[in-house]
């Protein structure tokens, strides 16, 4: 993939890597490590049940609607592939089948529409 | 006996993680490719994947570094994207919290979308599982995927710019996440949580530093929890 721009400063890269390594571990350890076997309140558990289903769609939605490789323009192959993947995943609850169908839709439409970048 | 069932749960975790080979493999490779193209050395790319071990956060950091964002903002945004793993950690605590400290520390490192998604389903469906069986299952879900993640990062970093844009690898991440979201939408409350979070993140596009994602996540969680209570009350009244 092509990428143009000034190279990232080495010192910055190492600071980011070390900061993220420490930060990510602390984030993951904070509850399981410190809370341990103490029970957590019902209202908190009720909210936590919806963590994944709230965070992942929010992460994906902007990437689907404004993909980076098309300079942020919505495009038909990517929107269609996203719709097919989600539909297949919801109906058959099969992650691999959904990715396969989504990828087939993406490549098929990129080829047909000549939208390959 | 218990050793045997622990081992069988470990293998079950491995088996259940097999579909994620097609998720973690391309992601790891994509990170390697984008990292080496962004000017990271092989050592830096590998240290990144090995110590941070969080795909979405790594991509976020890489993207912001390329955009020459201030280091503090790079870190804050990438960790914000990773805040969900703190919530996964909290969600797993009732099931794994009684394990020894070293096991909890190791489990913390391996807490990612894939291990969490598989384990929480298994633990909810198997209330009879012992603590050690749960720990064994949890580590099983990462036993294949983690080495694959490191290996594919290395492959991607070595291949680097030889991968053409026409492969549209940029879209591997959204497709994989969408495929994971589908099966999660099992109740009306889950659907409401997802819809509210999507609408919020799209409306919150103007919020700087990637905070829109956090705001949307919290809004989605509150919407899900509220819907669950509302539906429970209606059932109780009926």
Q: What is the pLDDT of residue A89?
A: 94
**Residue A60, token pair as written in the block:** 């994906």
Domain count, chain A: 1
* CB-CB under 8 Å, B33 with A48: no
Give the span between the Cα atoms of B38 and A61, in whole angstroms: 24
A8, A53, A100: residue with CB nearest B193 = A53
Distances (CA, A) of B57 to A110, B114, B151, B195: 28, 14, 19, 22
pLDDT digits (tens, 9 = 90+) for A40-88: 788 987 887 888 788 778 878 988 988 766 667 788 999 999 999 999 9
DSSP A38: S
* CB-CB under 8 Å, A1 with B161: yes
B58, B105, B201: residue with CB nearest A33 = B105
Give the span between the Cα atoms of A110 and B7, in whole angstroms: 46
pLDDT digits (tens, 9 = 90+) for B140-164: 999 999 999 999 999 999 998 777 7
Beta carbon pairs, A and B, within 8 Å: 316
Q: What angle do CA B196, A26, B91 make, to 5 degrees?
A: 45
Q: Which domain holds residue A111?
A: 55-117
Residues of B in contact with A39 (CB under 8 A): 94
pLDDT reading at A116 higher than 50: no
Distances (CA, A) of B4 to A15, B7, B22: 44, 5, 29
Sequential DSSP letters for B131-180 = HHHHHHHHHHHHHTHHHHHHHHHHHHHHHGGGS-GGG-GGGHHHHHHHHH
Candidates A5, A97, A60, A109; CA nearest to B216 is A60
Residues of B in contact with A72 (CB under 8 A): none
**Residue B151, token pair as written in the block:** 């290996």
The answer to whether B180 contacts chain A (CB < 8 Å) is yes
A24, A39, A68: residue with CB nearest B52 = A24
The model's confidence at residue A1, banded by pLDDT at 50, 70 and 90, is very low
The ipTM of this complex is 0.78
Asked if B95 contacts A40 with a C-beta cutoff of 8 angstroms, the reply is no
pLDDT digits (tens, 9 = 90+) for B49-79: 999 998 878 987 887 787 777 888 788 778 8
Candidates B48, B103, B123, B86; CA nearest to A29 is B86
A104: closest CA of chain B, how far (Å) = 11
Q: Does A8 fall in a domain?
A: no
pTM comes to 0.72
B5: closest CA of chain A, how far (Å) = 23
């Amino acid at each position: 993939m092509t990428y143009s721009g000034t190279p990232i400063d080495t010192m910055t890269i190492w600071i980011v890597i070390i900061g993220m390594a420490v930060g990510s571990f602390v984030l993951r350890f904070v509850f399981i490590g410190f809370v341990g076997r103490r029970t957590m309140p019902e209202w908190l558990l009720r909210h936590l049940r919806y963590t994944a289903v709230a965070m992942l769609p929010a992460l994906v939605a902007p990437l689907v609607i404004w993909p980076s490789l098309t300079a942020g323009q919505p495009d038909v192959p990517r929107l269609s592939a996203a719709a097919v993947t989600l539909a297949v995943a919801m109906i058959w609850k099969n992650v691999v089948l959904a990715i396969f169908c989504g990828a087939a839709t993406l490549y098929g439409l990129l080829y047909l529409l000549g939208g390959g970048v | 006996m218990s050793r045997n069932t622990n081992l069988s749960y470990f293998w079950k975790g491995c088996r259940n993680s097999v579909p994620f080979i097609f998720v973690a493999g391309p992601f790891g490779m994509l990170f390697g490719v984008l990292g080496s193209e962004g000017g990271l050395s092989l050592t830096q790319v590998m240290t990144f994947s090995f110590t941070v071990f969080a795909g979405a956060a790594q991509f976020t950091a890489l993207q912001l570094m390329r955009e020459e964002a201030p280091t503090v903002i790079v870190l804050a945004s990438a960790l914000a994207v990773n805040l969900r793993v703190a919530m996964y950690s909290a969600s797993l605590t009732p099931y794994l919290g009684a394990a020894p400290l070293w096991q909890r520390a190791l489990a913390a490192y391996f807490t990612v979308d894939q291990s969490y998604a598989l384990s929480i389903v298994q633990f909810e469906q198997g209330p009879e599982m012992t603590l050690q069986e749960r720990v064994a299952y949890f580590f099983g879900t990462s036993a294949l995927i983690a080495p694959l993640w490191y290996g594919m990062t290395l492959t991607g970093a070595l291949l680097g710019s030889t991968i053409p844009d026409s492969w549209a690898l940029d879209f591997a991440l959204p497709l994989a996440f969408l495929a994971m979201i589908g099966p999660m939408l099992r109740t009306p409350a889950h659907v409401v949580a997802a819809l509210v979070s999507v609408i919020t993140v799209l409306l919150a596009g103007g919020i700087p530093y990637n905070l829109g994602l956090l705001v949307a996540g919290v809004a989605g969680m509150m919407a899900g929890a509220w819907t669950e209570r509302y539906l429970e009350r209606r059932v109780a009244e009926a």
